[in-house]
Structure 1
Amino acid sequence: MTVTTMLPMSPFEARLRDQGRAYHIHHPFNVMLNTGKATPEQIRGWVANRFCYQTAIPVKDAAVLSNCPDRDVRRGWIQRILDHDGFEITGADGATVRDPGGIEAWLRLGEAVGLTREEVLDGRHVIPAVRFAVDAYVNFARRAPWQEAVCSSLTELFAPEIHKQRLATWPAHYGWIDPAGLAYFRNRVSQARRDVEQGLAVTLDHFRTPAQQDRAVEILRFKLDILWAMNDAMAQRYGVNA
């Protein structure tokens, strides 16, 4: 019988994972959503505003690619863009493989909660503070060294749990939402785990000195603040039900 030995987690990785205490899974607005206390208006507001962030993800990832000279990293990182934008590939045998991608899945979530595709796409419901926060994240990824932009993606360390919460609680609390609209969350549980492996490997390899590791934690906190600020803006606009 083969026994698999798990390598101990480094103190640096432990520091990164410890930042999950500031993840927006703990924000009152998200807690309200996942405990069944949100109104249809609040859910629609969250879906419409979060779409602003969803559409920025592949733009951010393209910025990482444009700044990265490492071919192996680029070959892995490009999958993130395909995950969100979708793809259509026709092989030599004429068979075509299609994936509509995460942005399309989010549009279907919008329809499932009662929004039209048009009003999600045109951003009419997006709060200025949400747009500002999203723009700040994309601009950071464009201007920072590519390794720092990769590090900022490590909020994915905490993402599978928030998606699993939604999958577990939304069908029970919000029976009026078509379950097919929750496909985005189902897809991201596994995709986020895969993305974490790559992003974490780059971060652990690049940020080696104490000063560099302090910088990595600072970057991760910046990204956590972006997500928290988005929830702050939505809480102010739509309220939080006790």
Structure 2
Amino acid sequence: MSEDAPLSREAFVERLRAEGARRYHDGHSFHQRMHRGELSQREIQGWVINRYYYQTRIPIKDALLLSKSEDPGFRRLWIHRITDHDGAREGEGGLALWLRLAAGVGLDPAEVAGLGRVEPPVRFACDAYVTLVRERSLLEGVASSLTEFFAPDLMSRRVAAWEAHYPWVDQGTLDYFKSRVTRARTDSHEAIDFVTAHAVTRAQQEACVAALVRKCEILWALLDAVEKAYPPAEKSARGACRG
């Protein structure tokens, strides 16, 4: 096969899965420590505060994707993602569930929603995702969402870890994670069907892979920023002694 020839659907999907799996943020040390039950309450709270900013960017990037499409069929397919996060009415949707989670870990939901405690590098990383979707093609923007391939397994592990290791968390507030297990599977199937149908040249396929890789880098950078801002307690103590 020529290097310029497009991959088969099966080979293309496998390439996307392989590249994403190698870079997905489930391998980040912060997530690894979370799932082993090693995070302090302060670290969990810091993650919830900062990850909420990422959650607020999701409906914005989805609105951008809708604005790029001339196809009513695509818009009908994709528009539910905005409602999934914003809700059909006040108090519903993923953002509301995240604020319930914030309360469940001991935070003031109104303070979290105000975004005043978001770390600047987290803002930079999350805004980079919006910029990626704004500046690249519809196809690449959809491809960047394919991190959802890996989300169901991560969410399932997270629920189990939080239930096992963090008894101080109100377990009734884990609904966001639980809801995403099924929703992310559906969303990823919608996205991969679109990407494989429209990436018909090798160049388009490679652009899709690059967009997915960039999204993985953004998620990784978010965790880098949180881990730096909320280091393990023993590391903080060592730093204080040196000072």
Matched, 1:192 2:184: yes
CA contact 2:126–2:218 (8 Å) conserved in 1:
yes
State the shift of 1:143 in Å. 2.3
Q: Give 1:65's aligned amino acid.
A: L
Shift of 1:134: 0.7
The equivalent of 2:226 in structure 1 is 234
CA contact (8 A) 2:139 2:208 kept: no
Mean CA deviation greater in 141-150 or 60-69 = 141-150
Percent identity for Structure 1 against Structure 2: 44
In the TM superposition, residue 119 of structure 1 has moved relative to its aligned partner by 1.6
Does 1:131 find its partner at 2:123?
yes
Post-superposition offset of 1:124: 2.2
List alignment gaps of at least 5 residues for structure 2: 1-7, 235-243
Alpha-carbon contact 1:32-1:241 (below 8 Å) kept: no
What residue in structure 2 maps to residue 95 of structure 1? Answer: none
Superposed CA deviations along residues 220-241 of structure 1, whole A, max 9, x for unmatched, are: 0000000000011111111247
Cα distance in 1 for partners of 2:36, 2:27 equals 12
Structure 1 residues 25-34 or 37-46, which shifts more? 25-34
Query: Which residue of the partner structure matches residue 151 of structure 2?
Result: 159
SS of match in other structure, 1:10: helix
Which of residues 62, 81, 95 in structure 2 aligns to 1:103? 95
Cα distance between partner residues in 1 of 2:9 and 2:165: 37
Q: What is the aligned partner in structure 1 of residue 169 from structure 2?
A: 177
Whichever residue aligns with residue 86 of structure 1, its letter is G
Amino acid at match of 1:43: I
| Equivalent AA in structure 2 for residue 210 of structure 1 | R
Match of 1:13 in 2: 13
Q: Distance in 2 between matches of 1:208 and 1:161?
A: 30
**Map of 1:146 onto structure 2:** 138
1:40-96: CA deviation from partner (whole Å, max 9, x where unpaired): 0000000000000001100110000011111111101001001000004xxxxxxxx
Shift of 1:9: 6.6
Which residue is 1:79 aligned to?
80
Supply the distance in 1 between the matched residues of 2:233 and 2:194 (Cα, whole angstroms).
40
Which residue of structure 2 aligns with residue 93 of structure 1? none
Counterpart among 101, 107, 112 of residue 104 in structure 2? 112
Q: TM-score, normalised by structure 2?
A: 0.89
| Matches of 2:162 and 2:227, distance apart in 1 | 19
Change (3 A) 1:105 1:169: same
The superposition leaves residues 102-140 of structure 1 with CA deviations (integer Å, 9 ceiling, x where unpaired) of 000000000000000122011122110100011111122
Which amino acid is 1:12 matched to?
A: F
Give me the CA root mean square deviation: 1.6
Contact 1:29 1:240 in 2 (8 A): no
- Which residue in 1 is equivalent to 2:32? 31
2:40–2:232: 8 Å Cα contact kept in structure 1? no
1:224 maps to 2:224: no
**Deviant stretches of 4+, over 3 Å:** none
User: What TM-score do you get using the length of structure 1 for normalisation?
Assistant: 0.90
Aligned equivalents of 1:240, 1:30: Cα separation in 2: 13
Report how far residue 99 of structure 1 moved. Answer: 7.4
